[in-house]
Amino acid sequence: MKELKVFDQKLYVIAQAIADTIVPSGGAFQPGARDVDAALLFDNYLDQFGKLPLKLVKSALYMLQYVPLLTRLRSFTAMGPQQRLRYLEGWENSRFATKRNLFLMLKMLILMPFYSDDAITQAMKYRPACLRPDDCPYCESMGQEQTK
């Protein structure tokens, strides 16, 4: 069982709510953020982040959580699923580049480990493979199939 390395419980809950909205369970392939604990994967991926970028990530998480208190009178985690989705779409499509970039940074850091997870690649039926069908140490060591 992996443990949190950089977030406290509070940040973990915020990260979980955001991840769950970005990649919910169901749809084109079944597993979503909750099924693979994407918030934990996100936390663990940051274990070698520099101090300053880590501060930025944590601040961005807090901003996403608390900015809606001003505009919607409730924090992100207190919103329902549809409201959360619309709120994040608002960040993704904001006319302010800084807001868009902060969201893109979080989205990338959540989705990179998510789409790297074996359960997700299997669910998506993604199998990296090379063009040459002969012996391929990379494919073998990654447990991947070769294309014949």
Partner 1 sequence: MLLTYNDINKDVVETPDVCIIGSGAGGAVMADVLSGAGLDVVVMEEGSYYTKERYSKYKPIESLKILYRDYGSTVIMGKATIILPLGRAIGGTTVVNSGTCFRTPEEVLEDWADTYGVVKASPKEMEPYFERVENTISVVTITPEGLGKNGLIFKRGADALGLSNGMLRHNMINCNGCGRCAFGCPHDAKQAVHLNFIPSAMKKGARFYANAKAERLVIDAGRVKQVRGSIVNERTGNRLYGMTVSPKLLVLSAGTIYTPYILQKNNIRLSPELGKNLTIHPAARITSFFDELIEGYKGIPQGNFVDAYASEGIMLEGIFVPPEIALPVIQAVGIEGKKRAHEYDNLAAFGVMVSDKNSSGTVRPGLDNSPFITYKLHPYDLKKLIKGIAVASEIFFAAGAKSVDPGVYGIKEFTSPSDIAQMFTRRLKANDFEMMAFHPLGTARMGELAGHSVVDSFGMARGLENLFISDGSIFPTSLGVNPQITIMSFSMRNAEYIVDNKKRFLT
**Residues binding partner 1 (CB under 8 A):** 21-24, 26-29, 32, 45, 48-53, 85, 88-89, 92-93, 97, 100-101, 104, 107-108, 110-116, 121, 124, 126, 128-132, 136-139, 141-142, 147
Kindly tell me which of 9 and 82 has the beta carbon lying closer to partner 1.
Answer: 82
User: Cα separation of 16 and 77, whole Å?
Assistant: 9
User: Cα separation of 114 and 16, whole Å?
Assistant: 12
Kindly tell me which of 75 and 121 has the beta carbon lying closer to partner 1.
Answer: 121
User: Cα separation of 72 and 70, whole Å?
Assistant: 6
Find the distance separating the first CA and the last CA of the chain, reported in whole Å. Answer: 37
Asked whether the beta carbons of 80 and 72 are under 8 A apart, the reply is no
Six-digit token pair at 46? 């940051």
Rounded least distance, CB 20 to partner 1, Å: 10
Kindly tell me which of 8 and 128 has the beta carbon lying closer to partner 1.
Answer: 128
Kindly tell me which of 78 and 117 has the beta carbon lying closer to partner 1.
Answer: 117
Asked whether the beta carbons of 40 and 34 are under 8 A apart, the reply is no
Rounded least distance, CB 137 to partner 1, Å: 6
Asked whether the beta carbons of 6 and 46 are under 8 A apart, the reply is yes
Rounded least distance, CB 52 to partner 1, Å: 4
Kindly tell me which of 12 and 99 has the beta carbon lying closer to partner 1.
Answer: 99
Rounded least distance, CB 109 to partner 1, Å: 8
Rounded least distance, CB 22 to partner 1, Å: 5
User: Cα separation of 12 and 46, whole Å?
Assistant: 13
